[in-house]
């Protein structure tokens, strides 16, 4: 319907999630897993695929709103982390495939920290990690401004706040230490 109405799309921002914060359980309902992947991964891929011809024709911009949890794992977020890791894998590969075709369409992944949205605050309430005082929340206005600015400049990937980049490097090079620090900071059993 959007393509019929506007005829071309210059910018597509994908930012929607189904959020769950709890310890992983062996007796999971598998339909919950499928639902989370459908909302958090498959729908992103479907929408990007639908608008890809128009974005390529206009040398447009595709902005993927992601999370630091797509780079570094935290307890209580197994399902969400897996969803965000899948987004990074798909859209990083798609970016390369677009470049192979010589197209100047850009794909920007915006790696955000915890943003103070109503849904995130409600989901994190009472959780030892997401609800802790150690997890400072970003302004949604600041986070969206940084993400849009990065897309306008056709950046590959941005980190907001920037320390998420350091967190990613630490996790890649010192995974045991990083995981221990995460548990320590949130007063989990270390």
pLDDT digits (tens, 9 = 90+) for 46-88: 999 999 999 999 999 999 999 999 999 989 889 999 999 999 9
Residue with tokens 């794992």: 73
Is 19 noted as a catalytic residue in this protein?
no
CA neighbor of 39 nearest in space, from 74, 64, 15: 15
CATH T-level fold of 1-186:
Rossmann fold (3.40.50)
And the tokens for 111? 């790696």
pLDDT digits (tens, 9 = 90+) for 139-182: 888 999 999 999 999 999 999 999 899 999 999 999 999 999 98
CB-CB contact of 137 with 120 (8 Å): yes
Domains of the chain, by residue range, sit at 1-186
Classify the C-alpha dihedral 30-32-34-40 as positive or negative.
negative
pLDDT exceeds 50 at position 134:
no
Q: Which of 74, 80, 159, 186 is the catalytic position? A: 80
Question: What pTM was estimated for this model as a whole?
Answer: 0.86
């Amino acid at each position: 319907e959007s393509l019929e109405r506007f005829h071309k799309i210059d910018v597509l921002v994908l930012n929607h999630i189904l959020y769950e914060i709890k310890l992983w359980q062996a007796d999971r309902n598998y339909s919950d897993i499928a639902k989370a992947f459908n909302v958090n991964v498959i729908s992103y891929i479907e929408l990007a695929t639908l608008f890809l011809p128009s974005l390529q024709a206009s040398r447009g911009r595709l902005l993927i709103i992601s999370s630091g949890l797509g780079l570094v794992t935290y307890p209580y977020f197994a399902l969400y982390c897996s969803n965000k890791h899948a987004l990074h894998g798909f859209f990083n590969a798609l970016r390369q495939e677009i470049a192979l075709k010589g197209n100047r369409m850009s794909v920007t992944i915006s790696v955000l920290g915890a943003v103070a949205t109503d849904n995130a605050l409600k989901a994190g309430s009472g959780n030892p990690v997401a609800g802790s005082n150690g997890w400072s929340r970003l302004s949604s206005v600041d986070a969206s401004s940084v993400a849009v600015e990065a897309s306008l400049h056709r950046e590959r990937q941005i980190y907001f706040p920037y320390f998420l980049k350091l967190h990613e490097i630490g996790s890649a090079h010192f995974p045991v230490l990083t995981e221990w620090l995460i548990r320590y900071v949130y007063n989990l059993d270390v």
